[in-house]
Structure 1
């Protein structure tokens, strides 16, 4: 557990990160992207997927690994990319040449035709795995060093993607505290490089596991404040804001599945994602008016994602490219996306549970 003295340093660092991560509310680009996973045996081709993004004016994508077919299809599209560097982490951490080779093969070979925005080192669960967490920060440093050597540090930010469980204290939001000491060093490194911390949020799983969390609070449909932070006095009308403010950082993956779980159905997915799109441009109670950059998980339902169950049903489309339900993304204040979506999911700059890609 981070001590109270150390926590004050972390809190200051995260506050700085928050200012860096939040998109300008006047930006012509919408603050919402969609994650692209392909763990299925019935998926459309990578070229078709990129064409689908373009047809829907979705201009931000997250890839869980550097698939070369997708990277080639993205060339010249102006779709901004959040690319994961899943590993092997130990190699990337201990061998700067290996990190440079990774950047050369997966980034420089496609830059500037592909608009890389972030590189997320490691997957969402690595930070809590014994024997793996120790390699995250050294690997980030080596990947960052390769980006600096290529003259791209002002264009591409290097970060890592962590699950929400790294927050040991989550109530009230103002008392948010990391449970892992390594997070302090990671936060300090990100602050020094001007990069955001990418946090995977799953309001759905919080709702499904806690009988005290109301459905309206989870779906953005509560008519009034449901919770007041006793420390700050800030009132919360939805679970998403409370989770984002608890982490005080960028948001990565949030959403709602359409099947295989409590209240998991297309109508609730539509309600959640519709309200999410309308909401993220407004900021949170702690940071009003500052759009939260958000990635919806995921573009497709993936029938081979393991373990089977809820996470097979977070896509916006079926693999046939048919929507699960109609939804409108954005608003006139940002950029309006009217598309048919398949299923609700977590925000990926803040992401969702298991991402074993």
Structure 2
């Protein structure tokens, strides 16, 4: 039986969460808040101060895997601040000999202007210049680009053209033929659209990590049930842990994070509030992980 590895993504440097993770050996992806990017991009000193407050105190006991500079700010007005902050952070990591910590950013699917078929993947005109420079940085550091991949939203927006089995990894054969490549699930198709976009942008030697994926358990009628959410997330875990890669880039390990650990308790009827694996009271929304029985 394949096992999920112990990794966790924090969207911001919450001191209580970081203290709780101390000594856990859970590999943490730590996010920089979007609203902090303009100030941090102003100088190396600003990023040094951020690092001293939010990372340095936890280096003894917390395992940091990535620091993600912003979440889904490209395309958008904050996108131009991402690369300077990445470069400043990299300077700090080099100076402190922290080669195991990688700097990246998180982009949404709408950074792609074209995503179908996967081989036609291309960045939007607005995002293209920013993305090329960021990809060159990531390529030089051998660090993946973090992408948010949500087959649910594609399915929910067009249930006629996008079949449920294609969105949930349950199709038994090829659903989309793209030249010589065949796709049996939408997840791979979206990931390969990103690979095609990077190739088309002239920076093809960057891997991807899936910073968010998931399926809501409520909020949109019969499209969002605990059973569907469990099916998608179980199949996603199995899909990435076998390390078969994608039709375009086979036999590679793609890291992935399920969004989210907890349902939000503000508006429980909405889709966005129901991606969690657990309710706010820590009871599971549906069973996902098989308990390990000691013998």
Q: TM-score range by the shorter chain?
A: 0.7 to 0.9
RMSD of the alignment, in Å?
2.0
Q: Is the 8 A contact 1:225 1:235 kept in 2?
A: yes
Partner of 2:252: 290
Question: Distance in 2 between the 1:196 and 1:29 partners?
Answer: 23
Partner of 1:226: 175
Question: Distance in 2 between the 1:112 and 1:200 partners?
Answer: 30
Q: Is the 8 A contact 1:103 1:147 kept in 2?
A: no
3-state SS, counterpart of residue 257 of structure 2: strand
Partner of 1:258: 217
Deviation (angstroms), 1:29:
9.3
Question: Distance in 2 between the 1:209 and 1:196 partners?
Answer: 29
State the Cα deviation string for residues 194-237 of structure 1 (Å, max 9, x = none). Answer: 2110011111101111231001110111111100113xx11000
- Aligned match for 1:178, one of 119, 123, 129: 123
Question: Distance in 1 between the 2:30 and 2:154 partners?
Answer: 27
Question: Distance in 2 between the 1:101 and 1:191 partners?
Answer: 27
TM-score (ref. length: structure 1): 0.72
C-alpha distance 305-195 of structure 1, shift in aligned 2 (>3 A): farther
Question: Distance in 2 between the 1:268 and 1:295 partners?
Answer: 18
Partner of 1:146: 92
Partner of 2:238: 278
Question: Distance in 2 between the 1:305 and 1:195 partners?
Answer: 37
3-state SS, counterpart of residue 119 of structure 1: strand
Q: Is the 8 A contact 2:66 2:103 kept in 1?
A: yes
- Aligned match for 2:29, one of 50, 66, 82: 82
- Aligned match for 1:316, one of 267, 277, 282: 277
Q: Is the 8 A contact 1:244 1:250 kept in 2?
A: no
Deviation (angstroms), 1:327:
2.1
State the Cα deviation string for residues 293-343 of structure 1 (Å, max 9, x = none). Answer: 10000010012379x721100000111111111123xxxxxxxx549xxxx
Q: How many residues align?
A: 272
TM-score (ref. length: structure 2): 0.87
3-state SS, counterpart of residue 116 of structure 2: coil
Partner of 2:6: 59
C-alpha distance 305-71 of structure 1, shift in aligned 2 (>3 A): farther
Question: Distance in 1 between the 2:42 and 2:257 partners?
Answer: 31
Matched, 1:207 2:207: no
Matched, 1:127 2:89: no
3-state SS, counterpart of residue 117 of structure 1: strand
Question: Distance in 1 between the 2:137 and 2:42 partners?
Answer: 18
3-state SS, counterpart of residue 109 of structure 1: helix
5+ long unaligned stretches in structure 1: 1-27, 33-57, 329-336, 340-357
Superposed counterparts of 1:191-206, under 5 Å: 191-206=139-154
Partner of 2:198: none
Question: Distance in 1 between the 2:211 and 2:177 partners?
Answer: 25
Q: Is the 8 A contact 1:92 1:143 kept in 2?
A: no
Moved more, 154-163 or 272-281: 272-281
Question: Distance in 1 between the 2:79 and 2:237 partners?
Answer: 33
